[in-house]
Every structure is written in C-alpha cells, then in structure tokens.
Amino acid sequence: MNDLISMLFWPISGLVLISIVITVHELGHYWVGRMFGAAVESFSIGFGKSMVERTDRRGTRWRINWLPLGGFVKFVGEMQAPTDTRDDLATEPETVVARKDNAKPAHPVGRPYTALNPWKRLAVSLGGPAANFIFAICVFAGISMTLGVPQAKEVSVLAVVTDSPAARAGFQPGDIVVEAGGRRVVTSYDVTQATILSAGEAVTYRVQRGDEFVRLTATPKEEVVRNEGLQVTEKLGRVGLQLGQRDVSVRQYNPIEAVGYGFSATGDAIGATVNVLRRLVTGMDGLDKLSGPVGIFSLADKVTDLHMKQENVSIVQKITDLLISGIQLAALLSIGVGFFNLLPIPVLDGGAAVMCVAEGVTGREIPENVQRIGLTIGLACLASFALLVTGQDLIKLFGWSAGS
C-alpha cells in the first residue's frame, strides 16, 4: 500500500512543487503590473496549448497548459521571446468601469507594458523574485509559529577525529561551540551548515573552553558522503567533529519573532545560494552542486519515499509529514528561483531590470533589435546551462561516471 501511494505521489509531488513556486513568481509580476495599470494578456501555468482556460472581466486569459514545467505572465506590448513582436493594442482603462454586466472585453484592459516608464517596468521585473522571497519568509514564519524551532542549551564537541582539520585547528572534547562561520550556534545544524559548504576554505569557530573563549580556524576537507535517508551521494566539507546537544527543546515563536525568523532563515538561504554561486564561478565547486527540474523531481521522489515508507506510523501522519516537508522544500526552491532570476542575463528578470535601469538613466529606450539580440543570446545561454545541469542531474540520478 505504501509503495502504491509513493508511486502515485512521485509525479504529483514534483509537479506541485514546481507549480507552486512558479505561480508565486508570476503572481508577483502580475500584481505589480496590475498596480501600475498594465494590461495583462495572459497568465499561464505551464507551456504549450491550453488544457483549461478562462477569461476574466479584464480580458486576461488564465490558462493551465499541457506542459506543466514553468509558466509565464504576458503583458500587452511586452516582448518576452526573440520571436515576439509588440502589440500595443489595449482597451481604454475606463472600459472596465463602464461595463456593468458580465460581458468580457474584446481586449485586455489597461495600458500597454511599453507605456509604463522604465522605473515602473523595473518594479514589475523585480516583482517575481520579491514574491518568491516573501513566500519563503511567510513559510518559515508560519512553521516557527506552529511547529516551532529547535533550540539547544549548548552544542559541545564529543570527539575529534585524529589528524583531521579540527584536530589540527586545536579543537578538544568538551569544547562548547558558540559561533561557526561568524553566526551564533543554536543547534548542531548551525555548525554543520557553516562547514559543509566551505570545503577548501578556512572557517572560524568560536568555542568556550572552561571560563575562556577561544577562536579556532579549520579548513573543511571535501568528502563524499552518502545520505541513506534520501539515498543520495553528496560532496560535503567536513572538519572531523562529533557534536552533541544538551537540553534540546522546540520553541514556538510569537508573530513578531516569527517574522524576524522568516527574514533570518530566508537571508541564510540566500547567503548559502550566493556562496554556492561564488564557489561555482571561482572553480571551487562544479555543476554537481546545482539541480534542475530532473533533480527537483528526484528530490521530491526521495522525500516522498522517506515519509511514506516510515514504519509504525499512520497514513495520516505520513501524509502530514510529507506536506510539511513539501512546504519547506517549496520555500527553499522559491528562494533559489527568485535569486536565479535576479542574475543579469537577458530572458531573466535581472536582465530586464538592467535594461530598465539603462533606459531610466540615459532617458532613451533600448532599440527593439538590440533587445531581441539580447534575448536570443540569453535564451541560448540559458538553454546550454539547462542542458549541463540536466546532464549533472542524470549523472547523480543514475550514478553514472566517466569510467562507466
């Protein structure tokens, strides 16, 4: 029974995860555009032909398309792809006020996207990533209020591996770790997080040893680690510490504390993403640190199996645990999508933002042929990058190697 449910959840969990994040992102663009009076031609979840579609009273087509990987919002007059041409036709704003019945307007209501000044278009471009970050903040805040956040009275060193980076740095059993990588340690996870993403780079730890506080610097060594729970193999930084926690409790935050925790957790995730990108650009890490749709579907599958194959747990509890994990995954994926879209690459929101700033500063619109060339180049780069990441996902999924 559990295997059957797990098989049914495999495609659903991955699709729902991606659809939630993309819908949040596109709604960010949509609402900011609406706020400035832009006419919206269509709001689509997925690509290809419509599977389900309806047109609202503002003339916007709300669509669920056949290929459920991604989505987009299309403003009137907006050029989104190299083959797009601008159509500045839009109904006058007063049309929506004049209609008292349920009749649909012949054209989307509002102003063409090109009629917005560059600073308003900049806000529309940034609306998607902003929505992703706000979604993550809300999820983390909600979890901290309902499920609570683990906290330990202290995190101590139980043992130090001989001839490890930690041993060479001077760690001793009994040390209490109070800071790791410049951040306060609340649970052992904080020490692990500061270590695993810093292989080959020095990390500073602050420990309490008796009545004294000592700063120790260790350089994590990259190791291949097998996560048996998720059935994945990863390359992580390790220093050779065995940690223990005393008096672990779960504290539920009040609304004000929860919002602060949401911002902090989201900021930490963004910081980790920036660190991964920095290490990727400098050659310290490879593309195996990144995941595309295949990797996301695989992770959703592993998480589904992990929860649905628990023993001596009711089916209701399994599904509840799976939903909680799915929401947390959606928040983390939302942060990744939001950050990735801020990169200054044509086709992405960051590229559109750069062009809006350039237009706002110079006072001259970027020529349409220049925009089209930029979009073509950006699309080619994005497609190449997607192929590389997908290749890495397949290697991790099937365990292929250069020698096989």
Q: Which amino acid is at 179?
A: E
Q: Which of 171, 161, 178, 37 is nearest to 108 (CA)?
A: 37
Which uninterrupted H or E stretch holds 404? none
Q: Which two tokens stand for residue 28?
A: 């960010």
Which uninterrupted H or E stretch holds 27? helix 2-35
Q: Which amino acid is at 123?
A: A
If DSSP codes are grouped into helix, strand and coil, which group holds residue 4? helix
Is residue 297 classed exposed, middle or buried when 0-12, 13-18 and 19+ CB atoms within 10 A define those classes? Answer: buried
If DSSP codes are grouped into helix, strand and coil, which group holds residue 48? strand
Q: Which listed residue (26, 41, 78, 179) is catalytic?
A: 26
Distance CA 232, CA 162 (A): 27
Pairing of strands 149-151, 249-251: antiparallel
Which uninterrupted H or E stretch holds 286? none
Positive or negative torsion for Cα 240, 225, 189, 183: positive
Distance CA 347, CA 125 (A): 11
Distance CA 140, CA 248 (A): 20
Q: Between helices 2-35 and 315-341, what is the axis angle to 10°?
A: 40
Distance CA 325, CA 215 (A): 36
If DSSP codes are grouped into helix, strand and coil, which group holds residue 224? strand
> Is 26 annotated in the active site?
yes
Q: Are 67 and 142 in contact (CB under 8 A)?
A: no
Q: Are 298 and 227 in contact (CB under 8 A)?
A: no
Distance CA 391, CA 393 (A): 5
If DSSP codes are grouped into helix, strand and coil, which group holds residue 281? helix
- DSSP character for 287? G
Which residues have a catalytic role annotated? 26
